[in-house]
Amino acid sequence: MTTESTQSQNQQSAELSTEQLSTEQLTPEQLAEEIVQQAEEQVEEQHEHAHEVISVEQERINELELALATVQATVIDQKDSVIRAKAEVDNIRRRAAQDVEKARKFALEKFSGEMLVTVDNLERALQSIDKEDESKAAVIEGVELTLQGLIASLEKFGVKAVNPQDQPFNPELHQAMSMQEVPDVAPNTVIAVMQKGYELNGRLIRPAMVMVSKAAPSVDESV
pLDDT per position as a tens digit, 89-128: 888 888 888 877 777 777 778 888 888 888 888 888 888 8
**Distance, first Cα to last Cα, the chain:** 171
Looking at the DSSP assignment, which residues form a beta bridge with residue 192?
A: 211
pLDDT per position as a tens digit, 116-167: 888 888 888 888 888 788 888 888 889 889 989 988 988 888 888 888 898 9
* Spatial separation of the C-alpha atoms in residues 157 and 197, rounded to whole Å: 16
At the fourth CATH level, which superfamily is domain 158-216? Head domain of nucleotide exchange factor GrpE (2.30.22.10)
Residues 6+ apart with CB under 8 A from 118: 150
* Spatial separation of the C-alpha atoms in residues 27 and 23, rounded to whole Å: 9
Is the Cβ–Cβ distance between 209 and 193 less than 8 Å? Answer: yes
pLDDT per position as a tens digit, 171-207: 888 989 989 888 888 888 999 988 889 998 888 889 9
* Spatial separation of the C-alpha atoms in residues 160 and 144, rounded to whole Å: 18
pTM for this prediction: 0.50
